[in-house]
Chain A
Amino acid sequence: MANFTLNVNGKTQELDVDPSTPMLWVLRDHLKLVGTKYGCGIAQCGACTVHLGDNAVRSCQLPVSAVGEQRVTTIEGLSENGDHPVQEAWLKEDVYQCGYCQAGQIMNASAFLKTNPNPTDTEIETAMNGNICRCGTYTRIKRAIKTAAASASENA
């Protein structure tokens, strides 16, 4: 066990936990932020995607000891009122079926749009290829990403 001071969704969190514990379980079990999902535990499905600084990372592969002072943002902290352009686009396109994979999809999409605000279809597919959706909502996800990109450029 060891003590860590983390910056999660803009809040400072202190905890005493085994250094090897993946952020996924720190978030879910210790900080009760259950929006970040467990799907595979081996970096294959993307359900656990969070932002480390500005980058989308797989929290199931990120030991708490590797976080340091970097900002961690989860789906709960993506926006204060659930009105991030990507969240709004998801609502507009009614993307989800079961909804389980969608936090990961949204976190990956929002980080991606920061680096590429106006992506092509192929760029979207490549960027999102690590996020599995068993319900098969891929075409809607793509549409929502384009909707988000368009609304962001309108507001820019």
Chain B
Amino acid sequence: MTLVKTHIGRRAFIKNSGLAGGGLLLGFSFLNSCKPKQAEAVAAGIEMPKEWFEINGYLKIGDNGVVTIMSPNPEIGQNVKTSMPMIVAEELDVDWKDVLVEQAPLNTDIFTRQLAGGSQSIRASWAGLRMAGATARHMLVAAAAEVWQVPADEITTDAGKLYHKTSDRTMGFGEVASAASELEVPEEVALKDVKDFKIIGTSRKNVDGQKIVTGKPLFGLDIQKEGMLIAMTVHPPAFGLKLKSFDGAEAKKMPGIKDVFTIKTFKDDYTKSAFDNSAFTDLIVVVGNTTWETMNAKKAVKVEWEESPDADEKMQIFGREMKVRFPAGLESTRIHKTAMADKSKVKQNVVRKDGDPEAMFKKAAKIIERSYSCPFLAHNCMEPMNFFADVTDDMAVLKGPIQTPEIMEKSVSERLGLPVEKVDIQMSRMGGGFGRRLYGHFLTEAGVISQRVKAPVKLVYTREDDMTMGIYRPSYEAYYRAALDENNNLIAFHVRAGGIPESPLAANRFPAGAVDHYLAEDWSIDSNITVGAFRAPRSNFIAGAEQSFLDEVAEEAGKDPIEFRLELLKRAQENPVGENNDYEADRYAGVLELVKEKAKWGQEQSGVHRGVSAYFCHNSYVAQVLDMVLENEHPIVQKVTAAIDCGIVINPDAATNLAEGGAVDGIGHAMYSAMSFKDGVPEQNNFDRYRLIRHSEAPKEIETHFVQNNIDPTGLGEPPFPPIMGALANALYKATGQRHYHQPFISEKQIIG
């Protein structure tokens, strides 16, 4: 048992804290919010209580013992809406079958970091969620002690009941919920020992499952409201262009169309945050009654575009004001490729240097040199960007899919000229996020449009808009060089990595720390094509490149690829080079050992070609073995075996699902996907030309193993995604005899039969 002070996030536990965050102002009443839940509760076999008692901002308990737990964070498919409440329920010591889950409102007075990004939801809220449950449990126990007139420490709890063993008395949580809700919040509460967990570590079904399989409205695009209009925008067809003039007369005459006008997404003097990033901020808007009518009218708008000038934009990036350069011009992939290759050839900015790599390269017995690259990628969330806004003179209610509600509240408030207390941003379940919905310009656009038309509006991006409006995974290139001595020891390692417009380099990650002579350089090329975080930013390329390169180095050294990595990790563990190595070598080696055992590495079957890869990012370690077979010269991924160390696993089956998805998604993007440009125009604008992995191309089987430990949980949404690209490339080499350096691999003709 651990005692923790409740003061971190203590505001959550102070009565009526909802008031402080403007909850009541916005008409949000937690205690009344359960009425529409009736039907759902009945479906789940839960009887609704007559009265609810709010114990703290995270939970309320009904007079019959039913508990409602708030899920604070945005749900993008990473399962937080189930797993976060599980943590609260664990410490509360309630039976999961008596729990109802609700999406919490945005209220940063109560909840910590209501943001979906960086695989941090569980990690950042772990302590707060446990404390919320434990505090409530403590108060129930105190209330029971009062009723029974016994010392609190003689009372135990289990599955929603309180017990006083010596006098053989039992009571349900519901019976003391009212009394508990009146008590003072304790200064200190006890947390459970990990070994006593009953809910955490057991698989629980997705709380929205029933709604998903029956098609209930859950997503932003599903929002309907009386009098709601549909809005769509027309944006420049190419990066580097902006609006010159337009003629919406014809469009406006079309059936169902209310208006055609232009908006500016931001005020001229506004300093954007990194999450306001958008290439096109002068937009033509078409507003109509229905989606189909609006879509058609959009095509009838006549527009003249002109080239935009060089721009240096001031941006707030993580609290610092920085200048970001968006050069003029119409860019093309062909020219990008040459420019990146040129950068790779010459010395760049040194980020880390250990020992004397140049001297070592001079005296090396063998030098291996390779370059890797990847294209821009569009996020392609299955639910295109959209947002609902209802802005009146003194209130803005916005609802929809957004990963950064807290940050967007400020943008919207500034843009609409309303104080933050009058801006209510509500979160819908999201049809995918992958980083795209961190950048909420669409939300601000929806607000501006609603303010202008004085009506509730749902802004909808067509798939084409979604794919061509920017915020892509950058295009990257990495050049590697390794030196072996005459005994095939790795004596020097050199990475020079960059991209458009940022470098993917993580200079302090493995194999830094494992090689005496190490050099890491970065570079970047400015661009007017906007980019953003994409599932495991930077790692999503550099992991695959590095892990392919290490495979080649191991082969040149005549070593087994797993043994080769383990040797390096042993070095990093026993006698690390340098100070700032950004990984724990023993946990890194741990996942490799585990995958080696589970995949039966070394017991190869004929016709099965294997590749291995391991990577550390977002605080978690993942190793994967990919088995490939050739059918009619066509590579088929037969199986992926994964070993993952992300600390305590909250919901194992859901975690497994996420790990499977990461592997499928990673194979898909490395193999098939690319966004290319010609004269600024995105050459792919829908799924006919933009390839995403499909059923028949997915691995036939995926087996996921978690390292069992008691370490506080870390990220899982991103870590399984980057390394699989290396495992794929390494297996492709075994299967085809060809190394694959440039993503997407499918365009390297030789692999496809």
Hey, which bits of chain A sit against chain B, CB under 8 A?
A: 1, 18, 21-22, 25, 28-30, 32-42, 44-45, 47, 74-76, 78, 82, 87, 90-91, 94-103, 106, 121, 124-126, 128-142
Contacts and interface: CB of A to CB of B under 8 A. Distances in A.
Interface stretch (B180-188, B541-549, B663-671): B663-671
B660 interface: yes
A34 B222 contact: yes
A47 B328 CA distance: 38
Given A34-B222, A132-B694, A98 B213 contact: no
A64 B744 CA distance: 39
**Residue in B76, B212, B692 with the greatest tally of chain A CB atoms within 10 Å:** B212
B384 A125 contact: no
A99 B77 contact: yes
A75 to B, nearest CB: 3
B654 A74 contact: no
B696 interface: yes
Interface in B274-294: 290-293
B381 interface: yes
B430 A134 contact: no
B661 A97 contact: yes
A21 B292 contact: yes
Given A136-B693, A138-B693, 8 more contacts: A42-B686, A75-B213, A100-B219, A103-B212, A136-B664, A137-B664, A139-B700, A139-B702
B654 A39 contact: no
A74 B215 contact: yes
B98 interface: no
B255 A1 contact: yes
A75 B215 contact: yes
27 contacts: A28-B291, A29-B290, A29-B291, A34-B222, A37-B383, A44-B686, A76-B214, A82-B210, A90-B212, A94-B209, A96-B212, A97-B79, A97-B657, A98-B433, A99-B77, A99-B218, A100-B381, A100-B382, A100-B432, A124-B695, A130-B694, A132-B694, A134-B380, A134-B434, A134-B692, A136-B668, A138-B664
B555 interface: no
Interface string B241-284: 00000000000000100000000000000000000000000000
B290 A99 contact: no
A142 B702 CA distance: 12
A98 B76 contact: yes
A97 B215 contact: no
Interface in B354-384: 380-384
Interface in B211-226: 212-219, 221-222, 224
A99 B384 CA distance: 14
Contact of A36 (B215, B290, B429, B661): B215
Interface in B633-685: 653-654, 657-658, 660-665, 668
A18 B230 CA distance: 17
A103 B382 contact: no
Contact of B78 (A41, A76, A97, A121): A97
A42 B434 CA distance: 23
A94 B653 contact: yes
- Which 4 A-B pairs have CB atoms at the shortest separation, nearest pair first? A35-B215, A100-B431, A136-B664, A98-B77
A19 B388 CA distance: 28
B696 A125 contact: yes
Nearest to B381: A134
Contacts of B210: 82, 91
Contact of B695 (A41, A44, A141): A141
Contacts of A33: 215
Contacts of B597: none
Contacts, number: 185
A78 B411 CA distance: 42
A103 to B, nearest CB: 5
Contact of B382 (A18, A90, A133, A141): A133
**Residue in A30, A78, A102 with the greatest tally of chain B CB atoms within 10 Å:** A102
**Residue in A82, A135, A142 with the greatest tally of chain B CB atoms within 10 Å:** A135
B695 A142 contact: yes
Nearest to B203: A94
A102 B695 contact: no
B336 interface: no
A35 B214 contact: yes
Contacts of B662: 136
A131 B695 CA distance: 8
B168 interface: no
B204 to A, nearest CB: 9
A81 to B, nearest CB: 9
Contacts of B664: 136-139
B214 A38 contact: no
Contacts of B688: 42, 44
Interface in B689-741: 692-696, 698-702
B348 interface: no
B432 A134 contact: yes
B96 to A, nearest CB: 14
A148 B729 CA distance: 35
A131 B698 CA distance: 13
A34 B653 CA distance: 29
Contacts of B430: 98
B517 to A, nearest CB: 39
B382 A82 contact: no
A103 B214 CA distance: 8
Nearest to B696: A125
A43 to B, nearest CB: 9
Contacts of A97: 77-79, 657-658, 661
Contacts of B216: 35
A44 B702 contact: no
Contacts of A96: 77, 206, 209, 212-213
A40 B465 CA distance: 11
Given A40-B687, A97-B77, A98-B383, A135 B209 contact: no
Contacts of B108: none
A91 to B, nearest CB: 5
Contacts of B382: 37, 39, 45, 47, 98, 100-101, 132-135
